[in-house]
Structure 1
Amino acid sequence: MSGAASVGPGRASFDADRMHAAYAVDVVDAGAPGAEAFCRVNMVASLDGAATLGGRSGSLGAHEDQRLLSVLRSHADVVLVGAGTVEVEGYGGAAVVDADAAWRTARGREPQPRFAVVSSRLGLPPRHPFFTDAVARPLVVTSEHAPADRRAALAEVADVIVSGEHRVDLGGALDELAARGMPSVLCEGGPGLYGALAEADLVDETCLTLSPTIVAGDAPRTASSAHEVARRMRLVHAIAGERMLFLRYGRAG
């Protein structure tokens, strides 16, 4: 959730090779027998824990955060995001910059990862830029309870995954993505989706960009849910950028 979906070019000071090495993931090759879902979450937060500034997470970011976002997406098969975040953050267009598209191509992957939106009500219309500006066919993750007419309409512009009866079964959705050759998932929030993944114990990694900003107010935290959870994580690295601190955490055990 560290910014909008269309990523602009980073500055020369950003060491892309270093970041690609620092954020490499060990995931079974897509489509290989036994491939299991791997879910990494990427969020940005202020110094006082706010997930948004002025209602948007992108307002907390900067050029190096946006460039890292492209690197993280480069290591994913699919970028998973909640419907509310799609609308607020302005998702639509390419996921990664040209340099990272070339990085993917050199490794035998499609130039762009796919976007997947999680939605129970399917309020996004087929004409939304998330669908019309997509450079790789997007996906919609929903439940059986979603309106059938909206599912049919979105099936014209996206691949629809139905997981769960009355609410979206995120574990089942991740398994289905892996079965379709997309085991490596990058979730970009929002807080509700991150919280739901945490509740279901589906978060394998959390990448947190710490913005040098104090927000105060009543901005949400990076994860929210109806119930508390205690998922212990271990620090993998802390990388200081020009202004920001980039943290990577993995499962503790």
Structure 2
Amino acid sequence: MIATVDGAAWGPDGRSASINDPADWRVFRVLRALADVVLVGAGTARQEGYTGLSRPRGLERLATAPLELAIVTRSGQVPWATLDGPRPPLVVTGRAGAQEAGAAVGEDRVLECPDGTEDGVDLRAAREALTARGLARVLCEGGPGLLADMLAADLVDELCVTTSPMLAGPGPGRIVAAPRDREPGAGRELRLGHLLSGPSGTLLARWEVG
């Protein structure tokens, strides 16, 4: 995740790309190169213009298997741009969204993980389903709502946060949004694993979540 000094999770265009820089991009590429699957909310995938994923160019040697993309969507609606790639994304959804998701990506690419409600998604069950497919290293790229739900479900081991040397002013949200019905872990203590400084003053931190 990336945020400005005053806590904004995106810039004036509504996208995180407008507040990042080459140092953040370099770390972003390495994290993707080391992951088995990128997990992202459908809303963020649409807003940020996600397409089908592949290993970052020049870093393919860091992993042998293809990089998978997994979209979390309660409705089962899949951003069309994510279908433009070497294979369709995996879709994590609940009961209400499974049929529509299957029509878009094929039933074999749908992880139906209901949480006991009509349209809710059990993220812990989703994590287990990804692991069962050999996708143990999950890189969650947000957005803020999904990150909040992941924290509330105690599914975050590390939190990588870039602080961009910018001020955004009022308007943009934070990197963690309020979940619908759970406490996102307010007051939880983190341990600093790494802190790097980029040439422009960008700070890149890896926090260990206890």
TM-score calculated relative to the size of structure 1: 0.74
Whole-Å separation in 2 of the counterparts to 1:157 and 1:56 = 31
Partner of 1:63: 22
Contact between 1:199 and 1:225, CA under 8 Å: does it hold in 2? no
Partner of 1:18: none
Q: Equivalent of 2:101, from 151, 154, 163?
A: 151
Structure 1 residues 157 and 46: alpha-carbon distance in aligned structure 2, compared to 1, 3 A threshold = farther
Partner of 1:242: 199
Partner SS state of residue 218, structure 1 = coil
Does 2:33 match 1:74? yes
Structure 1 residues without counterparts, runs of 5 or longer: 1-42
One-letter amino acid of the structure 2 residue matched with residue 144 of structure 1: R
Partner SS state of residue 58, structure 2 = helix
Does 2:150 match 1:170? no
User: What is the CA-CA distance between 1:217 and the residue it aligns to?
Assistant: 1.4
Cα distance per residue 1:103-152 (max 9 Å; x no partner): 32xxxx22x41110000012235xx12112x234420000012262x133
Partner of 1:85: 44
Whole-Å separation in 1 of the counterparts to 2:92 and 2:75 = 11
Identity rate of aligned residues, in percent? Answer: 37
Contact between 1:70 and 1:95, CA under 8 Å: does it hold in 2? no
Partner SS state of residue 76, structure 2 = coil
Q: Equivalent of 2:58, from 96, 99, 113?
A: 99
Q: Equivalent of 1:225, from 148, 153, 178?
A: 178
Structure 1 residues 63 and 157: alpha-carbon distance in aligned structure 2, compared to 1, 3 A threshold = farther
Structure 1 residues 171 and 191: alpha-carbon distance in aligned structure 2, compared to 1, 3 A threshold = same
Partner of 1:121: 75
Partner of 1:213: 166
Whole-Å separation in 2 of the counterparts to 1:115 and 1:228 = 24
Cα distance per residue 1:173-224 (max 9 Å; x no partner): 0011011111110000000000001111111110001101100112110001
Whole-Å separation in 1 of the counterparts to 2:72 and 2:90 = 9
Structure 1 residues 209 and 198: alpha-carbon distance in aligned structure 2, compared to 1, 3 A threshold = same
User: What is the CA-CA distance between 1:156 and the residue it aligns to?
Assistant: 2.9
Whole-Å separation in 2 of the counterparts to 1:177 and 1:228 = 22
Q: Equivalent of 2:83, from 131, 136, 141?
A: 131
TM-score calculated relative to the size of structure 2: 0.89
Structure 1 residues 50 and 241: alpha-carbon distance in aligned structure 2, compared to 1, 3 A threshold = same
Does 2:209 match 1:251? yes
Whole-Å separation in 1 of the counterparts to 2:131 and 2:184 = 28
Partner of 1:197: 150
Cα distance per residue 1:8-36 (max 9 Å; x no partner): xxxxxxxxxxxxxxxxxxxxxxxxxxxxx
Partner of 1:22: none
Partner of 1:8: none
Structure 1 residues 76 and 146: alpha-carbon distance in aligned structure 2, compared to 1, 3 A threshold = same
In the alignment of these two chains, the number of paired residues is 201
One-letter amino acid of the structure 1 residue matched with residue 102 of structure 2: A
Contact between 1:131 and 1:157, CA under 8 Å: does it hold in 2? no
One-letter amino acid of the structure 1 residue matched with residue 86 of structure 2: V
**Structure 1 residue runs of 4 or more that deviate by more than 6 Å after TM superposition:** none
Structure 1 residues 137 and 158: alpha-carbon distance in aligned structure 2, compared to 1, 3 A threshold = farther
Structure 1 residues 238 and 98: alpha-carbon distance in aligned structure 2, compared to 1, 3 A threshold = same
Q: Give the RMSD, CA atoms, in angstroms.
A: 1.8
